[in-house]
Amino acid sequence: MKRITLTQYLIEQQRLGGNVTPELRLLIEVVARACKAISHAVNKGALADMLGTAGSENVQGEAQKKLDIISNDILIEANEWGGHLAAMVSEEMEHPHLMPEHYPSGAYLLLIDPLDGSSNIDVNVSIGTIFSVLPCPAGTDPVGERSFLQPGSNQVAAGFAVYGPATMLVLTVGNGTVAFTLDREVGSFILTEPAVSISADTAEFAINMSNSRNWTAPIARYIDECLAGKTGVRGKDFNMRWVASMVADVYRIISRGGIFMYPADSKYKEGRLRLMYEANPMAFVIEQAGGAATDGARRILDIEPSALHQRVGVVLGSRNEVEQVRQYHL
């Protein structure tokens, strides 16, 4: 198989004249290099003093794991000097992180969930990094929270890394979705899926069933019909998966189809997942792979954000199933 590296893929996308500029190419390469460093740290497990909690809380009021903070620091340090970023937003930081004065400010905004699935770190289940890239609106000086409050349809790139049996990087720059596998021997991300395509139909759903008493009627109806299987209106049996790492569940869906659901409910009234650096990047990746992504009723990428860390319901994956759920919300 001809080995195409991430750099070669980005150079070829740049030549096509789409979203990829030299600065965006640098941004994506820097984020990918940071993901390699995070993968290395994660893979040390208990051999390095990086497991467990850091004794602090993030803006969400959630206990931070040591690796949450380490990953956030790696991504900040990697992106500050390049001159491609105006500012960064992270799940682990309340306010936007501006570039230090002594570095040039760039044309892009980076939004990250540095280590998604933190509750799985200490039990050795796959976790990952999610990133979203927005253009920095012209004339915004100084760059601030409002600069980031753009709908997901404005993204110029998005993707995620999965630190699993293999370290994978899934990416879209608006010209389809591709996947790279980290070749640890040479330290390169090698293109292993040049055209990710999600099946329109599926018989596999992913949801945290322990929330079922809190679901709205449309969600409860959809899941009940899946559980009824061939004895019910769907006429086929369904399987269920729930990793509790969005990156792992989404990677499975881009690999073999499926529907992922974390709906707003009576417990998580706004939803549990964050719009700007979880739902939006995943929605961009999924749509570019032929899937669909809503909050149950509305297209995720059309949602006009009102706050950096706002939460949203998420239903994404095989487009015919996402549409079935949307129909039940009409």
116 interacts with ligand AFP by CB under 6 A: yes
Alpha-helical segments (H) within 188-277: 217-228, 246-256
Residue number with CB closer to ligand AFP (64 or 147): 64
Q: What is the C-alpha to C-alpha distance for residues 287 and 319, in angstroms, rounded to an integer?
A: 9
Closest CA to 112 of 74, 147, 82: 74
Find the shortest distance in angstroms from Cβ 208 to ligand AFP: 4
152 interacts with ligand AFP by CB under 6 A: no
92 interacts with ligand AFP by CB under 6 A: no
Question: Interacting stretch for ligand AFP, rule CB under 6 A, among 80-88, 161-169, 186-194, 242-250?
Answer: 242-250
- Near ligand AFP by CB under 6 A: residue from 58, 71, 79, 118: 118
- Could you identify the residue written with the tokens 């630190």? 163
DSSP string for 267-316: SSTT-SEEIIIIIHHHHHHHHHTT-EEESSSSBGGG---SSTT-EE-EEE
Residue number with CB closer to ligand AFP (119 or 266): 119
- Near ligand AFP by CB under 6 A: residue from 12, 18, 73, 119: 119
Q: Which positions ≥6 away from 156 have C-beta within 8 Å?
A: 19, 24, 108, 133, 134, 135, 173, 174
Exposure of 205 by Cβ count < 10 A (0-12 exposed, 13-18 middle, 19+ buried)? buried
Question: Interacting stretch for ligand AFP, rule CB under 6 A, among 94-102, 117-125, 177-185, 280-288?
Answer: 117-125
Residue number with CB closer to ligand AFP (272 or 319): 272
266 interacts with ligand AFP by CB under 6 A: no
Positions 185 through 214 that interact with ligand AFP (CB under 6 A): 208
Find the shortest distance in angstroms from Cβ 245 to ligand AFP: 5
Residue number with CB closer to ligand AFP (42 or 246): 246
Positions 62 through 81 that interact with ligand AFP (CB under 6 A): 62
Q: What dihedral do alpha carbons 302, 308, 311, 315 form, nearest 10°?
A: 40
Question: Interacting stretch for ligand AFP, rule CB under 6 A, among 18-26, 73-81, 241-249, 303-311?
Answer: 241-249
Question: Interacting stretch for ligand AFP, rule CB under 6 A, among 40-48, 138-146, 192-200, 238-246?
Answer: 238-246
**What is the DSSP-derived secondary structure letter of residue 94?**
S
The torsion angles phi and psi of 327, rounded to 5 degrees, stand at -55, -40
β-partners of residue 10 are none
- Three-state SS at 91: coil
Binding site for ligand AFP (CB under 6 A): 62, 116-119, 208, 244-246, 262, 272-273
